[in-house]
Amino acid sequence: MEFKEFYRSLEVDTSLADELNFNPYYLKISSGLTDPIIIEGEEYINLASNNYLGLAFDDRVKKAMVEGITKFGASMCGTPIATGYIDIYKTLEEKFSEFINVEDTIIFPSGYQANCALFPVIAKKDDLIIMDHFAHASLIHGIRSTGCKFRPFLHNNMAHLEKLLKSSNKYSNIFVVTESVFSTEGSIAPFDEIVNLCQKYKAIPVIDDSHGIGVIGKTGRGILEEKNIKDYFGIYTTSLGKALAGAGGVISGKKELIRALRYSCSGLIYSTALPPPVIQGLLKVLEILKEESVQILKKMWKYKKLISKTLKEVGFKLAEGSAPITSIIGGDTKTTVEITKALFKGKILTTPFVPPSVPNNSGKIRIIAGANLKKSSIDQALDFFKTELRKQFIK
Amino acid sequence: MDLEKKIIKIIEENLEEELKVTLKTDLRDDLNIDSLSTLMIITALEDEFSITIKDTDFAEIKLVEDIIKLLKEIHPELGEG
Ligand SMILES: Cc1ncc(COP(=O)(O)O)c(C=O)c1O
């Protein structure tokens, strides 16, 4: 192919954004996650970030990060297996394992990378991986890279999962992969039932708790606390960049698994370790959560309930989930982006999900209200839902 | 149950929503099928008929009746029952 032709083939279809004169993606934000946030010099109520607990701009976390820089500098310029493994890296692994109650943990530069890097280590050609239909792109990416048999099951459908497990006795190892909180709609996996099915059919469960950690469970310790799962024998992964307000990813589980990953996971061994300030910040977040999670979560849930109650009263169809995520069902891509645009014009920032992030004609507008938001900001958003948004979209 | 009915039942069982499927149903336009749904249907067909189907065989499929044609083509024994 001629190089011009090649670059032409990469062209992105922006016709809808052009038609609506609005592109909700790559908005340039010029503040931290404060309330309000600043975009192009204007103030917005932020109902878009995954800053569930509102710790991303917390003074104590910022101070800890500065201490991390002062002591260790900007970067260790090495992968964890080489010079990247500072003492606080190990401390974070230990504190995280203790936080979710598993044997051991290893930290990756991102959650996406952790999910991608995991499967080539654990799955072999004659294994089977069964995954929830709506699981995250990073899990699909990791699973597909193994070349082993891959079977999706219907979203959160235990009868379908069991049917697949029942007919799977010809495989060497079987893995059952899912997410705790499905982030486009806020549904929570019946992970206790999945673990039981795995036990029955001798499969290994893999859970991605990216939107659950810090958020679900009585004290915010994620899916294992939420579903009261003790002595977890499976694999746990999460992003550290959402409620925990840092960056990075985690794989946790049995000591043998983590030891194998430390020495044979190429996505870990050949990638520069998280920088020291991020690690120091995450340690502070875990410390804060030990003391304050119940109180912070109370505020987060209060906001979530107010938002979904109001939107329902106004007449919007919502994706019903029990996580602190409220998603307006927009349907087709155009309507989904139009609703997002109307909210944006009302100085409210939300996240639209359109295909391929969601199935065709299942566009959603996701709303997450962090515990850092002022009650007056929530009230202002609710007022907008009841007036302008109703006028434009509810017939 | 004849081949057509069996295949329609398998497709219906592998959809997230309850939708009516006929021979003329378009997998993408009527059922909003994505690549993982397609994989679910392929693997369910493999289970049901103890056959192997390549993803590439499925690439040209548009309507439900195309699946029946394809299966009869790559596994003629299925059409005989
Ligand atoms: C379920 C899930 N897994 C993994 C990731 C990736 O994590 P990270 O952003 O740390 O790469 C995300 C989101 O970004 C996610 O929502």
User: Per-residue pLDDT tens for A17-46?
Assistant: 999 999 999 999 999 999 999 999 999 999
Report the range of poorest mean pLDDT among A17-26, A91-100, B50-59: B50-59
Which long-range contacts (C-beta less than 8 Å, at least 24 apart) are formed by B32-37? B32/A359, B32/A360, B32/A361, B32/A362, B33/A360, B34/A355, B34/A356, B34/A359, B34/A360, B36/A133, B36/A140, B36/A152, B37/A133, B37/A152, B37/A359
Looking up tokens 């199935």 gives: A359
Which of left, alpha, beta for A14 (phi over 0: left; psi -120 to 50: alpha)?
alpha
pLDDT band at B1 (very low <50, low <70, confident <90, very high): low
Q: Is the peptide bond before A276 cis (omega within 30 degrees of 0)?
A: no
Calculate the CA A289 to chain-centre distance. Answer: 18
Ligand 1 pocket mutation, candidates A118, A180, A209, A239, criterion most atoms within 8 A of CB:
A239
- Note the pLDDT of residue A182: 95
* Separation between Cα atoms, residue A371 and residue A303, nearest integer Å: 8
Cα distances (Å, whole numbers) of residue A179 to A122, A156, A173, A261, A300:
18, 10, 20, 21, 21
Task: Say how many C-beta atoms besides its own lie within 10 A of residue B79's C-beta.
Answer: 12
In this complex, is the C-beta atom of A218 within 8 Å of any C-beta atom belonging to chain B? no
Does residue A339 register a pLDDT over 90?
Answer: yes
When pLDDT is averaged across residues A204-229 and rounded to a whole number, the result is 98
**The A363-367 sheet, strands edge to edge:** A318-319, A326-331, A363-367, A351-353
Q: In Å, how far from its chain's centre is CA A125?
A: 29
Above 60 in pLDDT, residue B81?
no
Phi, psi of A346 (to 5 degrees): -85, 15
What is the C-alpha end-to-end distance of chain B, expressed in Å? 9
Residues A118, A119, A124: CA angle, nearest 5 degrees: 140
Residue A47 has pLDDT above 90, yes or no: yes
Q: Provide CB contacts within 8 A for A110, sequence distance 6+.
A: A239, A241, A247, A248, A249
pLDDT of B79 strictly over 80: no
Residue type, A164: L
pLDDT digits (tens, 9 = 90+) for A107-144: 999 999 999 999 999 999 999 999 999 999 999 999 99
In angstroms, rounded to a whole number, what is the distance separating the alpha carbons of residues A323 and A211?
A: 9
Residue written as token pair 């809808």: A16
Residues whose CB is less than 8 angstroms from the CB of residue A98 and which lie 6 or more positions away in sequence, other chains included? none
pLDDT of residue B56: 83
Cβ distance of B16 and A133 shorter than 8 Å: yes
In chain B, the domains with their CATH numbers are: 3-18+26-79 (1.10.1200.10)
Tell me: pLDDT of B17 over 80. Answer: yes
pLDDT of residue A340: 97
- Average pLDDT along chain B: 88
**Residue A270 CA from chain centroid, whole number:** 24
The reply to whether ligand 1 has any atom less than 6 angstroms from the CB of A210 is: yes
Read off the pLDDT of each residue in A301-325 and give the average, rounded to a whole number: 95
- Residues A72-105: b if buried by 16+ CB within 10 A, e if exposed: beeebeebbeeebbbebbeebbebbbebbebebb
* Alpha carbons A273 and A87: distance in angstroms, whole number: 13
Candidates A144, A148, A151, A170, partner chain B, best to mutate (most B CBs within 10 A): A151
Structure tokens at A295: 């109180």
Percentage with pLDDT > 90 across chain A: 95
Cis peptide before A356 (omega within 30 of 0): yes
Model confidence at A383: pLDDT above 90: yes
Which of A136, A211, A271, A358 to mutate to test ligand 1, by most ligand atoms within 8 A of the CB atom? A136
* Gap between the Cα atoms of A106 and A53, Å rounded: 24
Q: Kindly state if the Cβ of A221 falls inside 6 Å of ligand 1.
A: no
Residue partners of A318: CB distance under 8 A and separation at least 6? A308, A311, A312, A326, A327, A328, A329
Rounded average pLDDT over B7-33: 91
pLDDT at B32: 84
Q: How far apart are CA A239 and CA A191, in angstroms?
A: 18
Distance in angstroms (rounded) separating the CA atoms of residues A123 and B60:
31
pLDDT over 90 (residue A51): yes
Q: Is the pLDDT of residue A207 over 60?
A: yes
Across chain A, mean pLDDT equals: 96
pTM: 0.96
Round to whole Å and give the CA distance between A325 and A347: 19
3-state secondary structure of A162: helix
Q: Which residues pair with A351 in a beta bridge?
A: A366
- Within chain A, where are the H helices? 3-9, 15-20, 59-72, 87-100, 111-122, 137-144, 158-166, 191-201, 223-226, 255-264, 266-269, 276-314, 333-345, 375-384, 390-393
Task: Look at A152 and B39 and tell me if their CB atoms are within 8 Å.
Answer: yes
Binding site membership of A46 for ligand 1 (Cβ less than 6 Å): no
Q: What is the mean pLDDT of residues A358-387?
A: 95
Cβ distance of B34 and A360 shorter than 8 Å: yes
A151 neighbourhood in chain B, CB within 8 Å: 39-40, 43
Q: Given a cut of 80, is residue A337 above it in pLDDT?
A: yes
Q: How confident is the model at residue B80 (pLDDT cuts 50, 70, 90)?
A: low
pLDDT score at A2: 85
For residue B52, pLDDT beyond 90: no
> pLDDT-derived band of residue A347, with 50, 70 and 90 as boundaries?
very high
* CB of A112 shorter than 6 A to ligand 1: yes
Is residue A369 scored above 90 in pLDDT?
yes
Contact A302, A108 (CB under 8 A): no
Confidence of residue A230 (pLDDT cuts 50, 70, 90): very high
> What is the mean pLDDT of the segment spanning A255-271?
97
Confirm or reject: Cβ of A239 under 6 Å from ligand 1: yes
Q: Give the model's pLDDT for residue B54.
A: 85
The predicted-structure confidence for A140-166, as pLDDT tens digits, reads as follows 999 999 999 999 999 999 999 999 999
